[in-house]
Structure 1
């Protein structure tokens, strides 16, 4: 495991138990973001870097009982917290790295990724891996329940021009990774970039 993986696991392991308590009001924001994926009954969807699984119930609601909902995360403690919250009933949990998914090519209709992009060790390569498992014209949602400026302020830092999530940086990064960005919203209460898998 790389140093970055170890660091990410340590960061989230230490915070897993009280993660949901720290951000109790995020549920409706997740549900609203999921609704923008345009999922249909029977679709197959992955929550990449699912954490405690807050997106899994709205994803299950969107694809119905005949759909497939997967939640993949690198940190066992986060998946344990998802099980404790009962969210494993909404989707199958996988202990897996978003950079190397145990999924067949073009097997999914969509990928939802909340807060993931900041933790990717090799963003272009990792977004290409997400593209690999999504069928052409499938959807990627990069979501955060807080905008870039508000998050930076919360963390006591400034946004820099090289921020990956800046629109001018994210569009070309997605394009180079097999995606075409179709919409971009960065407001105080949410960040949501949607992209379509290029043929």
Structure 2
């Protein structure tokens, strides 16, 4: 599914109507991951692949009224559902491919991405684009409310060695895309990888 943006749109478009209802208890996990991102009042943050915007209220609370919160998603139905849920009060919503963001270089302090990596057509290119829009020293959180094994079991699969989210795969993928991983957690009740934007001018 991740090889074609149109297929990603079709996949999520067909699932939008009951998306939040399918996962009603994820709110605290999202809030905890946002807290771990270490945002400060006044920061500018992007929710990349924001879906129905479940992270947006927590991101807004973290950066305060003086901060900037953007939510970008490829799927029109997801953006529309975020608006219906009132989450556009917390953020400016963009219908955009996170691999080609209409944002200036280095303008953000952080990026939050829930369930993002497995839906990027070209993960390295997508992560490089996220690095482009974040200032040196800025932060990235790759999150899922359940871990890799639990997610695979939910879909009747087993995790495999080629899973991009496995630490031996994700760490070099991030490193080659402008990020340095600082934290990696993969438990049944949480997946969270935190990374810092490297300064291209160093070395």
Structure 2 match to 1:109: 109
Corresponding position of 2:130? 130
Unaligned residue ranges in structure 1 (runs of 5+) = none
CA–CA distance in structure 1, aligned partners of residues 37 and 29 of structure 2: 13
- Measured in 2, the distance between the counterparts of 1:6 and 1:129 equals 19
Q: Which residue of 2 aligns with 1:23?
A: 23
Instruction: Tell me by how many angstroms 1:158 deviates.
Output: 1.1
Aligned length: 198
The answer as to whether partners of 2:3 and 2:122 remain within 8 angstroms in 1 is no
Give the Cα separation in 1 of the matches to 2:84 and 2:23.
16
Asked if the contact 2:79/2:95 (under 8 Å) is kept, the reply is yes
Q: Distance in 2 between matches of 1:89 and 1:17?
A: 20
* Unaligned residue ranges in structure 2 (runs of 5+): none
Normalized against structure 1, the TM-score is what?
0.98
Displacement of 1:3: 6.4
Matched, 1:97 2:97: yes
Runs of 4+ in 1 over 3 A off after TM superposition: none
CA distance in 2, matches of 1:63, 1:100: 25
2:11 paired residue number:
11
Alignment of 1:138-177 (within 5 A): 138-177=138-177
TM-score (norm 2): 0.96
Shift of 1:89: 0.2
Give distance in 2, aligned partners of 1:52 and 1:167: 28
Deviation at 1:47, TM superposition (A): 0.1
Residue 3 to residue 166, structure 1, CA distance change in 2 (3 Å): closer
Q: Distance between the aligned counterparts of 1:194 and 1:81, measured in 2?
A: 28
Partner Cα separation in structure 2 for residue 96 and residue 43 of structure 1: 21
* Alpha-carbon distance in structure 1 between the residues aligned to 2:98 and 2:63: 22
Q: Distance in 1 between matches of 2:58 and 2:118?
A: 23
Distance 1:116 1:88 in 2: 20
* Separation in 2, partners of 1:126, 1:167: 18
Superposed CA deviations along residues 67-124 of structure 1, whole A, max 9, x for unmatched, are 0000000000001110111100000000000000000000000000000100001011
Distance across 2 between alignment mates of 1:147 and 1:176: 24
Cα separation, 1, equivalents of 2:158 and 2:39: 36
